[in-house]
Structure 1
Amino acid sequence: MAGPAGAPRAEAEEGGGCCRRSPSPRSTPPPPPPSSSSSSSSSPPSDSSDSPRWKLAELGRAGGAAGPAGGMMRSQCLLGLRAFLAFATKLWGFLLYLLRRQARTVIQYQTVRYDILPLSKVSRERLNQVKRKILVLDLDETLIHSHHDGVLRPTVRPGTPPDFILKVVIDKHPVRFFVHKRPHVDFFLEVVSQWYELVVFTASMEIYGSAVADKLDNNRSILKRRYYRQHCTLELGSYIKDLSVVHNDLSSIVILDNSPGAYRSHPDNAIPIKSWFSDPSDTALLNLLPMLDALRFTADVRSVLSRNLHQHRLW
């Protein structure tokens, strides 16, 4: 009997044990929230338009679609840049042209001028006792330097602007001459024209020499007498200037020429001068003014000029 009676008790004890005090559901701690990394890794990718992957994909599709248009824009930009560089190069060259031309003018006027003082009574009386002298002037490499179309002269710096351009017709062909005036030539002619009768004697052709003389005269009527190649004597392939063509009295004639061969028949009447091509600081014409000023008072120019024959070989 004890056995059966004990069994229900055991069951009652077991059942009572289950109903004694079970822990309350409110006191149970909640499970920890999932971390952001785990949630983001475990969550499926979003299809929102703010997704970086979606933006990259859209940019890739847009770039692929705009590829030809972008290439055209780049080529247009390159063409525009090249055109701008070409324009800037031309503009810079033009500015250099103006600066060089202005620099030549400034350099000429920076040099000290030759002061022309009034003559004393004794000097005026002396001039009345002697003949008025004649100054014969060469053109090329003495008063000017020129070159024509298609001829590159290494003596002229590239880009040097000419003082004037002559257009003449030679053998039925139009030719342009770019003429550079020697520094101070205008002032020189203005001064010596008060002391001498000026004569142009050049071995160049008349059509060219006459045009150059007109430019140098500049409507001042100081270069009225002119002689050209046809007035020279041809000897051994070179042109000789016979001063007796200008005047039969050689005691009153002075020739200024850069070529000793041109006046070799009259070395006692010559003043040598260094050939000029492009030096903007040249002062040879100014340096001759004191000598020419004094020479006009002599009875015979050869008495003075014959002492300087050794200088003819220097040029």
Structure 2
Amino acid sequence: MRTIRSVAVVVQDGAEPFGLGAMCEVWAEPFHPEDQNPVFDFRVVTPRPGRVRGASGYDLVVEHGLDAARGADLVCVSPKRDFLDPSPEVADLVRQAHAEGAFVFAHCTAAFVLGEAGLLDGRRCTTHWRHVDTLARRHPRADVDPDVLYVQDGTVITGAGSAAGLDAALHLMRAQFGARAAAAAARRMVVPPHRDGGQAQFIARPVPECDAETLGPLLAWMLENLHGDLSVEELARRTHLSPRTFARRFRAETGTTPHSWVVGQRLRAAEELLERTDQPVDRIAADVGFGNAAALRHHFTRSRGVSPQQYRRQFAC
């Protein structure tokens, strides 16, 4: 897969401002010396340059037509209000970009454009939970997953709502430039550095009813003790709950299982150590709670698609 150096974001009439803003926040930032962040050749394009109607009481003025997106390494389609009639011109653009090896990215309702282009056929994908049934009906050859924040299938990335577009973009940033670059981007935006794509879109109880019920303090303690025993039984004991009740509450508050959350946090801690230190893989495995290098290699390769050693060679500072 090619390295992302240039990014084009497509907007159309009815453009959702958060959807566009999410892409600008990740891909349009200037260089920050304190972060050493990558900088991209970034442009916003539209089928007919000029005034583009917005969806929230104000419009955009876009100078570039779709031709300005030709050759971009990443083509993002921004969500729009009227999404059930995708533009054939935009569908042609993303189809050609994909054929030329570019990454193609769509979150929320923009996934319907990728469906129109045929890029979802035979692929896992997602969209906002309100529209997953419609997407599946319109594109029966697509493997629409209603329960995830984002999916990357090859060079095609789809995300759920606009906030999940940030998660998907940070995922792609991490895959391209490493954990440090993604964490710096997240810190700049004051958002969590990484939410797993497999996390549920809809969390049953996103705002705890009272402070005593939230697992926030426990999650903070878990992050400080990744090397320790973080089994469901031990965590349930610390919260004075039965293992079954604890597991149910954990998923209600976080959208994922305790095991998946712990593995994800241990992998992210391992990424940072691989990038920033020269510690042996055995030592890193022990420090983050995997116990041994074999276990770390298993989880790392399964999740990231490369071995810890390969990751270190690619992203070591």
| TM-score bin, normalised by smaller chain | under 0.3
TM-score between the two structures when normalised by the length of structure 2: 0.26
Rg larger in structure? 1
Q: RCO higher in 1 or 2 (8 Å CA, sep ≥ 6)?
A: 1
